[in-house]
Amino acid sequence: MAVIPGSNIAEITNTANSTKVEGRITELVATYRAYQYKSYGSPDVELHLRKDVPMTLLEPTQLRIK
């Protein structure tokens, strides 16, 4: 098994087919969580992506779809 560092993530590779790959991602890239219109107008001008919106926890009866 070898860990290959990338620009934003570390990839874990395995050369043997019979063993299970174990490991974890050491760094995650920022994701956009919400869209926001700043004012009335064209979406290509006024629609902004926001990263600062907190992710809400789901109830056991809810499902999050990406």
- C-alpha 40/C-alpha 50 separation (Å) is 17
Strand-pairing partners, residue 52, are: none
What integer pLDDT is reported at residue 50 of this predicted model? Answer: 82
Q: Is residue 6 domain-resident?
A: yes
Provide the domain count of the chain: 1
Strand-pairing partners, residue 35, are: 49
Q: Is residue 28 domain-resident?
A: yes
Q: Is residue 34 domain-resident?
A: yes
Handedness of CA 26, 29, 34, 38 (dihedral sign): positive
Handedness of CA 33, 39, 41, 45 (dihedral sign): negative
Per-residue pLDDT of the chain (66 residues; tens, 9 = 90+): 444 455 455 455 555 555 555 556 555 456 667 878 888 888 888 888 888 877 778 888 988 777
Q: Is residue 26 domain-resident?
A: yes
Range of the domain at 26: 2-50
